[in-house]
Structure 1
Amino acid sequence: MINQIIIADSSPLISLAIIEQLELLPRLYQRVLLPPAVWNEVTVQGLGLPGAEAVSQVKWLEIEAPLPMLLEPLLILVDHGEAEAIALAKSTPNPIVLLDDAQARRIAERLGIPRIGTLGILRRAKKAGLIAEMKGYIEQLRNNGIYIRSSK
């Protein structure tokens, strides 16, 4: 387990739920935080959509709101869930933010926040011996309409 707190955005959370690998997060990280906007996107607005039920039943997710003064400037740059995840990471000790959106990842990088995406989680899980391979999961994500950039 990595001694970091991971703060998740909705897209990677849904992706991990679709491939039934949500449990990788607490096995890889000390704590798993979710901003209220992400919880709402996935479990309320996303009710009935892939991943919503799995996420809503997880007991180890901690819902935590970011500080408003950190959130406001981010809302003009990215969607509400991503903005809350980045803002929460700014005020969390030893954070890593789980984002798949390219714009949100660039903003986190500019703010000096470590970031990882769905594929990064799968890579870490494989390296830690938690999964045997990634190919099947990547194929499953693509088959469910999740965009995965081809490696060069």
Structure 2
Amino acid sequence: MRIIVADSGPLIALAGLDGLPWPVALWGRVLVPRTVIHECVERAATAGSASILRACEKGVLEVCEDEALADELIALSLDPGEKKAIALALRLEGSLLIDEQRGRRAAAHLRIPHIGTCGTLVLAKRAGLVPQVAPCSTRVHGSGYFLSPQLIQDTLRLAEEI
């Protein structure tokens, strides 16, 4: 069984698609540091917060205690959830589900395999979990979650939809 550690951005985006089970189907276990859960649900108005809490209660998302941060992570200009997700992925030698560019660069520097929301959508299509990526990316983008036009085009190309 493989493990992926999730940051808040992809969880919020996938919750808006009722797609929180997809990472479980793709990777086996989805671990989420407590700080990341707090970021997702600290405001009841956060899109998907109720879905994220239900997924935690059902065990779809496994909430983990926060890891102590190594000096190299403390110095990074990342939000607390990203740092905690990276620290957990490092300790477990797992993959990382993260969208924020600075976090992805840090993961690459630390040699942590990582993927974002759009990559997850492509894999979900390939696994037969969603019929098309385009409607999903449109919904995510329409909800106010930032996806650059270039990222959407690249994603649709990888999904063989353009």
Tell me, yes or no, whether TM beats 0.5. Answer: yes
Select which of 51, 66, 77 maps to 1:54.
Answer: 51
Identity of aligned residues (%): 35
Tell me the residue number matched to 1:33: 31
Q: 1-side partners of 2:104 and 2:137: how far apart?
A: 20
Q: 2-side partners of 1:66 and 1:38: how far apart?
A: 9
Residue 11 of structure 1 pairs with residue 9 of structure 2: yes
Tell me the residue number matched to 2:20: 22
Using the TM superposition, name which of 47-56 and 111-120 deviates more: 47-56
Tell me the residue number matched to 1:84: 84
Tell me the residue number matched to 2:145: 146
SS of residue in 2 equivalent to 1:68: coil
- CA shift in 2, pair 1:103/1:69, >3 Å: closer
Offset of 1:29 from its aligned partner? 1.3
- Whether the 8 Å CA contact 1:66–1:91 is kept in 2: the answer is no
Query: Scaled by the length of structure 2, what TM-score is found?
Result: 0.85
Query: What is the one-letter code of the residue matched to 2:142?
Result: N
Q: 1-side partners of 2:10 and 2:43: how far apart?
A: 14
Which stretches in structure 2 are left out of the alignment for 5+ residues?
155-162
Residue 103 of structure 1 pairs with residue 102 of structure 2: yes
1:57-68 equivalences under 5 Å are: 57-58=54-55, 59=58, 60-68=60-68
SS of residue in 1 equivalent to 2:92: coil
Using the TM superposition, name which of 16-25 and 61-70 deviates more: 61-70
Q: 2-side partners of 1:73 and 1:56: how far apart?
A: 31
CA RMSD of aligned residues (A): 1.4
Offset of 1:20 from its aligned partner? 1.4
Question: Alpha-carbon deviations, 1:45-80, whole Å to 9, x = none?
Answer: 13232110000011221111343143x532332100
Q: 1-side partners of 2:143 and 2:72: how far apart?
A: 33
SS of residue in 2 equivalent to 1:97: strand
Which stretches in structure 1 are left out of the alignment for 5+ residues?
none
